[in-house]
Amino acid sequence: MRRLLPVLLLLPLLGLPAGALAQARFSLPETGRMRVVTRALGWTVLRDSAAPADAAETAMILIRAQRPVPPAARPGHLGRLLPGLRPFHFARLPAEGEIRLAGLPGQVIEAPATGQPSGAPVRVRAICLFGRERSWLLVASAPAGEWPALEPELARVLEGFRPG
């Protein structure tokens, strides 16, 4: 119970109801380079295990379960959400595209950004999947110059996402 207490105290900060922790499970394939490095504060983070230790930016994937988004609030949802992500600064976001992944409808945006706090240019592909019980935010990024080489591997991980 002592180990569970800090997690229960964090649940209101994560925006998840107390019973949601067990329900927010998902599966995700790791690859030769993309490995889970942490699960904290509602985020699951995969990083490029082959990136140099001193790299200003590395390829990464961020995943988080969120409250469900009602159908009427879905248009523009992802575009409103992305500017609030601290690891990135977007000068301008393109319109959202439609996507279907893991049996769920969603939105996708791919755009250039500036990594924070490095200031290095990165490329970001963000997906929001809409389920009845919750929505899922999946964000893949890589240094802009490495994106063409890493994009197929990042796409494989994203396409392998399955809600629990």
Mean pLDDT throughout 77-96? 94
93-102 mean pLDDT: 95
Counting residues of the chain whose pLDDT is more than 70, the rounded percentage is: 85
The CATH homologous superfamily to which domain 4-163 belongs is: Mog1/PsbP, alpha/beta/alpha sandwich (3.40.1000.10)
Domain definitions of the chain by residue range = 4-163
Identify the CA nearest to 124 among candidates 163, 80, 154. 154
**Full-model pTM:** 0.83
Query: Both tokens of residue 45?
Result: 């983070």
- Which residue has better confidence, 30 or 83? 83
Residue 48: both structure tokens together: 């490029």
